[in-house]
Amino acid sequence: MKRDANIGGSVELLYVLMYETLVGSGLTRCSQELKSVISRRIQRIKEVEHAMQDEGRGIKAMKEADDGMKKIQIPRYARINTLKWTADEAMKTLETEKWKILGTLKPENFAEMVTKMKDDEVYVDPHVENLIIFAPNIQNFYEYWMVEQRYLILQDKASCLPAFLLNPRPGSQVFDTCAAPGMKTSHAAAIMENQGKVWAMDRAADRVATMKQLLDASKVAIASSFCGDFLKTDVTDKKFSKVKFAIVDPPCSGSGIVKRMDEITGGNAEKERLEKLKNLQAMILKHALKLPGLKRAVYSTCSVHEEENEQVVDEVLLDTYVRQNYVLKKNVLPEWTYRGLKTYEVGEHCLRANPKVTLTNGFFVAVFERVKSSE
């Protein structure tokens, strides 16, 4: 099924379609091409699901397990698009539209307060600048004018961490190596106040086209979006000589996003596939770190697997060039207490996100800095 041309080989997209069909709200909002991926195989999907149900591993069993424990509800995170208005303008407008602004949450009671939110309440996030929090079950929130017109950009909190921690200064240059659909590109541009340049590359032409539309709608004026294979890119090309910052968010298993499909997909943790992803991720990160003027890079995945996270960081730091020129930044976002796995020396210097702990998608972030860099 993953070879179906309509999904372009994207296993993550396939899992999302299956999830929405079997567990979620259906495929009414999807294109006919995406619907056909499932509809042409729906009988076989149901047969497999029924067989799994007989073994106690089907959808019904999953839902019963959910009912037997406190259900985790991730709130809706919205990044104020400061390329269209200021944070003050956003908050004042929300108030005029009868939202109750409750101020900035404290990290220590974050989960407790978020789980008690009412549908008309809004909090300011304590970790990521210009990020606000809405209740999880607001109806038709995608149709709200602030969201439709991209004054507010719906983006999971964990996904905001890479650009936030990269913190590129206005006027600088950034290379987003695997950029589509452009959420991190637009976030970096906002942090840079639309001053400087963001090179936004992706291998898939259709995804680049979608990214350009998203960036235009978000009023990003400094992105150079183009299709290409980053591993085949000459990072020593003169046009990249001023790049000081890089976002490396490479293809991954997506296990942090599709967490609740684990019972059906086997955890999306096939060792052979994870090993291939790990190798690809390490190659992309090492290639990015060879940008001659680079001073800081953020590596991130929406994966929960150590193969794609701590193991990649470990492997890259063993590279002679990397070891001579970069260090893993320590004490990153100290108020974020959920760190990498303690079984790795690098673990305490990395950030992890987990639905049960951080009320976000599963995620991983590590920050590399050039030795003795000075900005």
* pLDDT given at position 366: 98
Report how far residue 117's alpha carbon sits from residue 170's, in angstroms, rounded to the nearest whole number.
35
Q: Provide the residue-wise pLDDT of the chain in tens; the chain has 375 residues.
A: 656 777 776 766 777 787 778 877 678 777 888 888 888 888 888 777 777 666 556 666 655 545 533 567 899 999 999 999 999 999 999 999 999 999 999 999 999 999 999 999 999 999 999 999 999 989 899 999 999 999 999 999 999 999 999 999 999 999 999 999 999 999 999 999 999 999 999 999 999 999 999 999 999 999 999 999 999 999 999 999 999 999 999 999 999 985 444 444 445 458 899 999 999 999 999 999 999 999 999 999 999 999 999 999 999 999 999 999 999 999 999 999 999 999 999 999 999 999 999 999 999 999 999 997 444
* pLDDT given at position 16: 78
- Residue 198 pairs in a beta bridge with 174, 223
Report how far residue 205's alpha carbon sits from residue 203's, in angstroms, rounded to the nearest whole number.
6
> CA-based Rg of the chain, rounded to a whole angstrom?
21
Catalytic residue among 160, 178, 252, 302: 302
* pLDDT given at position 63: 58
Tokens of 304: 């929960």
Residue with tokens 């294109």: 31
Q: Where are the domains of the chain?
A: 5-67, 76-154, 158-370
User: Is residue 178 annotated as a catalytic residue, yes or no?
Assistant: no
**Residue spans of beta strands (DSSP E) within 40-118:** 76-80, 100-104
Determine whether 118 is exposed, middle or buried from the number of CB atoms within 10 Å of its CB (0-12, 13-18, 19+). Answer: exposed
- Is residue 363 within 8 A of residue 353, CB to CB? The reply is yes
Assigned fold of 158-370: Rossmann fold (3.40.50)
pTM, two decimals, is 0.81
The domain made up of 76-154 is a member of CATH 3.30.70.1170 = yes
Report how far residue 170's alpha carbon sits from residue 197's, in angstroms, rounded to the nearest whole number.
9
* pLDDT given at position 264: 45
Could you check whether 76-154 and 158-370 share the same CATH topology? Answer: no
